[in-house]
Amino acid sequence: MQLSHSQPVHPLWLRCCHWVNAVAIAGMLFSGWRIYNASPLFHFKFPTSLTLGGWLGGALQWHFALMWVLVINGAVYFLLGVASERFRRKFFPLSWPLLKETLSQALRGKLQHADLRDYNMVQKIVYLLVLLDGVGLVFSGLVLWKPVQCSLLSTLLGGYEAARYIHFLCMSAMTLFIVIHLLMALLVPRTLLAMLRGC
């Protein structure tokens, strides 16, 4: 199906936000892995070659600098998504029967991508879950960054140590999403082109 240049799959503002997010999230992941290595929660560490910052202090500086980029860019993305009604058009309505059908198609490799403007039910659910995952990362990250100032939030999350586990689990979910997202872009290259040029 040929896509019209007059109707871009993704508007310019969304493409800009997407790529800023991609850079910021990658930097936060790699610097976060260096921070994790300084005080691991589990019996493993991330390879130093996959971390950013050189040492704990450097990783913290990268993490906090990119945090502001991500928060500002995320706020722009959210406000424009709501104001333009893109979120409402793209993510709703939701349907459990359609979710089961499209999930079955996806697992059998039969999912169609005829029109990139239309999100299937799996995409809708996954993108909404990623937005919620981002909220979990921000809230748990605030507790780790400012535990005294965010004491109420810390209590709601179960304390500082619980916030560390929540942050790690949300980070792991984000990493899994990114891996699947990249694989899908490789399997359906038109999606990458649409995010680069809009159509």
d(CA 130, CA 132): 5
Q: Which helix (H) or strand (E) segment is 32 a member of?
A: helix 12-38
- The overall average pLDDT reported for the chain is 88
DSSP string, 73-91: HHHHHHHHHHHTTHHHHHH
The pLDDT of residue 5 is 46
Sign of the four-CA dihedral 42, 47, 51, 54: positive
Range of lowest pLDDT (50-54, 80-84, 96-100): 96-100
d(CA 84, CA 77): 10
CB distance 194 to 10 below 8 Å: yes
Whether the predicted pLDDT of 109 surpasses 80 = no
In Å, how far are 15, 65, 68, 71, 186 from 28, measured between CA atoms? 20, 9, 11, 12, 23
Tokens of 173: 């979910």
In Å, how far are 126, 136, 155, 169 from 147, measured between CA atoms? 30, 15, 10, 19
The pLDDT of residue 4 is 45
d(CA 195, CA 96): 28
Whether the predicted pLDDT of 17 surpasses 60 = yes
Average pLDDT over residues 136-163: 95
CB distance 181 to 144 below 8 Å: no
**Percent over 90 (pLDDT), the chain:** 61
Nearest partner of 138 among 58, 43, 24, judged by Cα: 24
Average pLDDT over residues 125-147: 93
Give the pLDDT band (50/70/90) at residue 93: confident
Whether the predicted pLDDT of 1 surpasses 50 = no
